[in-house]
Structure 1
């Protein structure tokens, strides 16, 4: 009798499609998350690599100019201040990943807005915030394309100068290099989502530290060559520029530093790659603290070293704008690293755009 009951149960299981589905989901629990989406595998380290890829961009090369406008006191202080502000606002934002009532995941920035603004603001707020996010990301990808082409042209021109002994002006158009940068991006855009970008972000993060490290090392060598530390406590003096220019340059410097720390626009999307347990919020707080600490130390070192080397005549870009030029091969390596980094950074920033499309 017991055998017949067991046989009937097996027959029911075989013919009941609902039970089959549940069994399949359970059997595939290693691949399916708690809400039926593909299982997330991100950790503190993969999230940190995404953040570093997004934060440590070519903007680090303009920090020397920014500190030259602010001086030895205000420059480092402003960098630390922006790091603290970015950490605080990021902590607030990662707390918005789960719906406060249902606990449902907010997989995108727009989802978080929809979940927390309330019914009155939902339609207008989501559309407005979504539009601003997409517009900002679109602008960032254009900026990355232009910056990558500048670095590629810098490699071409440096080799041209070397071969001609400085006699050839070595003019070059940026447009072919923009196309050369864009074609691989079209191919790489077929990568499905952030989860598949972890290794790419790690490579990009390594590249960002490569060219920043080269800039830092060559800055130290330049200071040793000069035999003195240049720069003053208050930055560019009003004797060299008018008071109006001093004010304008100060605001530009603050904007450059703020831009160098920006990544919150894709923070929610990065958080959506993190596995749980532990809670996504705890993981992202750790990743944010670690990434910003490393980034801030590197930023201050690069900016201050460049200012010590060039003083008030600090270039807008340490590697391409009348800045460091020798040894030639090392500058080429640094600019190549910028291009490779921007290939990865473009994909990280473009993921929400691809998702929308």
Structure 2
């Protein structure tokens, strides 16, 4: 660079002349942006981080509502649908040719390139409202896991899991989670996020394996859990109507548990261009969805076998298990660490969207556009932007405050998930594929793709109905300042 950092200096402005020398030209891609270095390994880590959330531990409950036959069938159906539509979306990263065309850096840009008009606007509304909902839901879920560590230790001390002294508020733990996210949100973009995704993916394997191991132990001990082909039976404690609502909610939980296409294009934009990005992304999607499905089936089926029709919503934080307490503590710490990484994976597209739009509207505003280089000893140079610092901090604080005001937001998140599954995971990928390939209307392929899209719309509608009913019940039972699980 023409202007070098002085030793001991902690701040310099970025030198524009640096962009004109030969060294810089060797480090850019065909679009003039810094050379991408992502591989199918890092993309797989991003996908696993995004898909395998702590919801994997609630699949035993979902299985209990649906039963062995429908539960397994729904898991496999959503696995296939998610992988299939992700391969269609991977081809839309470049246009018009999926290998040599112009890059689309975000999901919205891909929708604008292939569909345009009102569909593009609806895509942005669905994507970014969903990302905000996930941010709030992850804040709540992480705090539940943190609270579970404290309560597990309390139960162990008092020898009972019903001790009144073990009740505690989630709010302090939401504040801790928000403070961590304020720091991590200063990671500039997806390209710098690989290490956090890999760590989060490891954590997801850790707590899923612990839950799996505990379930196997419980089954091997010869428990008397009742299971059935159709799930929780209609009887004294559950009416036929309630059974239907619970089944709808379970379908919604499983559908949302698989959804990661919201950030697929942004993940694909981190991949190096050789081999072609669409081929690497399809490979990463196959690996990510296969690993996810394996864990989902194992945790869901073995969890249901262990707890039967009485399976809790989350058998680590809901205390299906509370001994050995140290292992439960470790599993819940892993959940919290995983959600720290997953929060960033889902927030980065929203962060970059707002920042790029502001830079386009106010290109002369130094507060928004100027990058400042900070030489951090033993770490290297970090480029800080004051607008990024302020806006991302405010976003994290606002989502944390909303989470504290509405700690039952997981029900709203389920509604958002049900509402976004069809458009983001199914409808837009199919429509973009049809437009990109110039598929003939009413042809065989066109017809069955449309049938798949309409079938998934019906699933989203019934899941949304179940989530609304669950939200109503949560509002009725809401007790402020108590831990929410």
TM-score, length basis structure 1: 0.89
Kindly state the Cα deviation for residue 125 of structure 1 after the two structures are TM-superposed.
3.2
Counterpart residue number, 2:167: 171
Give distance in 2, aligned partners of 1:93 and 1:311: 38
Pick aligned residue for 1:260 from 254, 257, 261: 257
Which has the larger Rg? Answer: 1
Q: Secondary structure at the match of 2:221?
A: helix
User: Residues 160 and 168 of structure 1 are in contact (CA less than 8 Å); yes or no, is this contact kept in structure 2?
Assistant: no
Kindly state the Cα deviation for residue 230 of structure 1 after the two structures are TM-superposed.
3.8
Counterpart residue number, 1:342: 339
1:312 aligns with 2:312: no
Kindly state the Cα deviation for residue 62 of structure 1 after the two structures are TM-superposed.
0.8
- Give the structure with the larger helix fraction: 1
- For residues 180-329 of structure 1, the aligned pairs below 5 Å read 180-227=176-223, 230-239=226-235, 241-329=238-326
Counterpart residue number, 1:129: 123
Give distance in 1, aligned partners of 2:245 and 2:18: 64
Q: Secondary structure at the match of 1:238?
A: coil
Kindly state the Cα deviation for residue 87 of structure 1 after the two structures are TM-superposed.
0.5
1:149 aligns with 2:111: no
Aligned length: 333
Q: Secondary structure at the match of 2:193?
A: helix
Give distance in 2, aligned partners of 1:252 and 1:21: 55
Give distance in 1, aligned partners of 2:59 and 2:351: 31
Kindly state the Cα deviation for residue 227 of structure 1 after the two structures are TM-superposed.
4.5
Counterpart residue number, 1:114: 112
Unaligned runs of 5+ in 2: 1-16, 355-485
Give distance in 2, aligned partners of 1:320 and 1:185: 22
User: Residues 223 and 306 of structure 2 are in contact (CA less than 8 Å); yes or no, is this contact kept in structure 1?
Assistant: no
Unaligned runs of 5+ in 1: 1-19
Q: Secondary structure at the match of 1:247?
A: helix
Give distance in 1, aligned partners of 2:338 and 2:128: 21
1:57 aligns with 2:53: yes
Describe the shift of the 1:168–1:236 C-alpha distance in structure 2 as closer, same or farther (beyond 3 A).
closer
Give distance in 1, aligned partners of 2:130 and 2:20: 44
Give distance in 1, aligned partners of 2:114 and 2:143: 40
Give the superposed CA RMSD.
1.8
CA shift digits 1:158-185 (9 cap, x unpaired): 1122223334431211111101000010
Give distance in 2, aligned partners of 1:163 and 1:222: 23
CA shift digits 1:179-209 (9 cap, x unpaired): 1000010111111111111111000000001
Q: Secondary structure at the match of 1:96?
A: coil
Give distance in 2, aligned partners of 1:255 and 1:128: 21
1:351 aligns with 2:345: no
